[in-house]
């Protein structure tokens, strides 16, 4: 059987870390790590490139652009791409790449591990094997491979700090699982598009995410505008609610909308859909022109707003972007 050409792009994270006096630090040399993983080197033609060497807490919008540009530079020469990345912000990177690299024609699979490759109990080898299998699958898209599961990139959320089962696919079925039958892909749920691939890395970093707490002072939003924030995501309560007695968040939302600031409201609940049209407390803000995220993850909502603000500052256009499903991030 012809071996698939797989490119591995390393960005750092625990998977590539070694112990130092200051704690675990990522180090360069992804090929040194991969060459000892049985089931990988003998089955694929591998090219490895270290593009970054960071703990993913330090992976920020500038690094997202570096990663997206690297994928764009090399994708035509490979059957699939594996990206190794720290787990802490992996879901944000997977989400933003889903918007920056829409309709990528090959599989791009992000993975990492909870323990360094050098640890005898590491989960890195298994995660890499699964990521390579998905990268060789001919199923295009941005995916995250972890603990024998493949998640659509824009649906991944990190839910555990140390457990090997660290990621979940939120409000979307797993794209694939790996068990004794091998890699089983649910082809019917992989988002498909007839649109051409397009790299679009224009984003705004001026997006603020705020988790609503009972009694939150509405004036906080004036301060955010003073700091030049251009868009706000609010994790509101339950199905959809914000307080308006005594501390009137609703009027504040109206003021923000009048100033052309997009306000995107999601739920603090991880699972299921928010729907601000059910309760009076939610309905009132919809009338003020805020944007709902329905079943999107917070990671997707934040990165989609950053990407949307990179395309336009026109509120009507941003609403249209949120009313469009680009990569499977929202069920409309
Ligand atoms: N702090 C690490 C990182 O995100 C954690 C990990 O990779 O698991 O880079």
Tell me what pLDDT residue 52 has: 97
Residues 144 and 110: beta-carbon distance below 8 Å: yes
| Mean pLDDT over the full length of the chain | 95
Q: How far apart are CA 85 and CA 62, in angstroms?
A: 15
Question: Tell me, what's the pLDDT at 71?
Answer: 98
* Closest atom of ligand 1 to CA, residue 55: 9
The verdict on the CB of residue 17 being under 6 Å from ligand 1 is: no
Cα separation of 39 and 124, whole Å?
13
Nearest atom within ligand 1 for CA of residue 26 = 9
The verdict on whether 125 is a catalytic residue reads: no
Does the CB atom of residue 112 touch ligand 1 within 6 A?
yes
Ligand 1: does its nearest atom lie under 6 Å from the Cβ of 116?
no
**H or E stretch at 291:** strand 291-292
pLDDT at 240 over 90: no
Residue of 11, 14, 281, 293 marked active site? 14
Q: Is 14 in the pocket of ligand 1 (CB under 6 A)?
A: yes
Ligand 1: centre distance to CA 142 (Å): 20
Neighbours of 137 (CB within 10 A): 23
Q: Which CATH architecture has domain 4-189?
A: 3-Layer(aba) Sandwich (3.40)
Q: What is the pLDDT of residues 6-58, one digit of tens each?
A: 999 999 999 998 888 888 888 878 888 888 788 899 999 999 999 999 999 99
What is 171-233 written as a DSSP string? TS--SEEEETTEEEE-GGGS----SPPEE-------EEEEE--TT--TTHHHHHHHTT--EEE
DSSP-assigned states of every residue in 235-284: EEBTTTB---SSS-HHHHHHHHHHTT--EEEEESSSSS---TTSSHHHHH
**Ligand 1 center–CA 243 separation, angstroms:** 36
Q: Which of 17, 86, 128 to mutate to test the pocket of ligand 1 (most atoms within 8 A of CB)?
A: 86
Fold entry, domain 207-322: Rossmann fold (3.40.50)
What is the per-residue pLDDT across 178-216, written as a single tens digit (0 to 9) for each?
999 999 999 999 999 999 999 999 999 999 999 999 999
Please give the distance, rounded to the nearest whole angstrom, from the Cα atom of residue 282 to the centre of ligand 1: 37
Asked if domains 4-189 and 207-322 share a fold, the reply is: yes
Q: Is 114 in the pocket of ligand 1 (CB under 6 A)?
A: yes
Cα torsion angle, 70, 149, 176, 153, sign? negative
C-alpha closest to that of 207 among 264, 129, 150:
264
User: Which DSSP symbol is given to 292?
Assistant: E
User: Closest Cα to residue 89, out of 70, 62, 71?
Assistant: 62
Domain chopping of the chain, boundaries: 4-189, 207-322
Indicate if ligand 1 lies below 6 Å from the C-beta of 56. Answer: yes
Cα-to-centroid distance, 144 and ligand 1 (Å): 15
Sign of the torsion formed by the C-alpha atoms of 193, 197, 202 and 206: positive
Here the tokens at position 100 are 């920056």
The reported pTM is 0.97
Average of per-residue pLDDT across 107-111: 98
């Amino acid at each position: 059987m012809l071996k698939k050409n797989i490119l591995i792009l390393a960005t750092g994270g625990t998977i590539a870390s070694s112990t130092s006096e200051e704690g675990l630090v990522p180090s360069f040399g992804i090929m040194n790590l991969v060459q000892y993983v049985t089931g990988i080197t003998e089955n694929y033609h591998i090219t490895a490139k270290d593009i970054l060497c960071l703990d993913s807490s330090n992976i920020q919008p500038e690094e997202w652009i570096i990663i997206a540009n690297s994928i764009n530079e090399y994708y035509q020469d490979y059957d699939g791409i594996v990206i190794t990345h720290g787990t802490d912000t992996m879901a944000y990177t997977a989400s933003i790449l889903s918007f920056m690299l829409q309709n990528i024609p090959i599989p791009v699979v992000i993975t990492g591990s909870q323990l360094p490759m050098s640890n005898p109990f590491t989960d890195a080898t298994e995660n890499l094997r699964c990521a390579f299998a998905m990268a060789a699958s001919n199923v295009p898209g941005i995916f995250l491979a972890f603990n024998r599961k493949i998640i659509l990139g824009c649906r991944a959320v990190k839910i555990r700090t140390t457990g090997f089962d660290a990621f979940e696919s939120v409000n979307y079925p797993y794209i694939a699982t790996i068990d004794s039958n091998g890699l089983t892909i649910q082809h019917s749920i992989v988002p498909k598009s007839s649109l051409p691939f397009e790299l679009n890395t224009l984003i705004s970093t001026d997006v603020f995410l705020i988790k609503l707490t009972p009694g939150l002072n509405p004036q906080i939003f004036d301060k955010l505008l003073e700091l030049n924030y251009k868009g706000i995501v609010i994790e509101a309560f339950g199905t959809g609610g914000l307080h308006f007695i005594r501390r009137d968040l609703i009027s504040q939302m109206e003021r923000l909308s009048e100033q052309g600031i997009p306000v995107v409201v999601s739920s603090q609940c991880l699972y299921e859909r928010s729907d601000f049209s059910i309760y009076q407390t939610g309905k009132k803000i919809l009338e003020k022109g805020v944007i709902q995220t329905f079943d999107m993850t917070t990671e997707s909502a934040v990165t989609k707003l950053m990407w949307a603000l990179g395309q336009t500052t026109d509120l009507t256009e941003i609403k249209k972007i949120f009313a469009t499903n680009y990569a499977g991030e929202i069920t409309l």
